[in-house]
Chains A and B, each alone.
Chain A
Amino acid sequence: ETGVTQSPTHLIKTRGQQVTLRCSSQSGHNTVSWYQQALGQGPQFIFQYYREEENGRGNFPPRFSGLQFPNYSSELNVNALELDDSALYLCASSLSADPGTGELFFGEGSRLTVL
């Protein structure tokens, strides 16, 4: 059984650029959540995807968007990057018959630096 895998592990972008981060769910998991973790802070919820539909969103602007694919893998896209977007982006998967009930398993994250 493979865990949650994320790519790339590190990347550097400049302000105004766009970035796509990728996540492969743990085997058998149907729900993916994305979190942003700024340095020295706890993770903050961005959004969750369940059965390829967005199932809830945190306090993030529309330039943060996502997708979930039929194999339950997921992408996080961020447009018009700002310096404050520099953070560790965490993907978490869970197996939920109903959203909000599953235990979350986190990947190791993608470290984004915006210059």
Chain B
Amino acid sequence: QQQVKQSPQSLIVQKGGISIINCAYENTAFDYFPWYQQFPGKGPALLIAIRPDVSEKKEGRFTISFNKSAKQFSLHIMDSQPGDSATYFCAARRGGSEKLVFGKGTKLTVNP
């Protein structure tokens, strides 16, 4: 049972374009939704996170959009750069729980 479904599996974007990665969840008890960025050979690094009391959060070129009624959230990377090429994971955590549930990841390639 996959609790967090992520799409697309891979994404190719031109430099300066917008990258959009989507995630959907089933468990309405989830109350924390982070996005992680992972480069080859490295551990995941927290990029940005949101809680369901807001519909959008922006940090620099990265924005999370959150739709509580649809149980969906997405990551938007504006002005994508070759240095953004990495694998991105969405995740979710139930309140008071220790366990992060990850999506399967999206491999982003930004062409120069």
A interface residue numbers (CB < 8 A to B): 4, 31, 33, 35, 40-45, 48, 50, 55-56, 58, 90, 92, 98-101, 103-109
Interface size on B, residues (CB 8 A): 25
Q: Is the CB of A100 within 8 A of B43?
A: no
Q: How far is the CA of A58 from the CA of B1 in the complex (A)?
A: 13
Cβ contacts A to B, 21 pairs, < 8 Å: A31-B98, A33-B98, A40-B105, A41-B104, A42-B6, A42-B89, A42-B105, A43-B89, A45-B101, A50-B98, A55-B98, A56-B97, A56-B99, A58-B99, A99-B97, A99-B98, A100-B94, A100-B96, A100-B97, A103-B46, A103-B49
Closest chain B residue to A109 by CB distance? Answer: B43
Interchain CA distance A35-B45 in the complex, whole Å: 14
Alpha-carbon separation in the docked complex, A43 to B104 (Å)? 8
Q: Are A108 and B43 in contact (CB under 8 A)?
A: yes
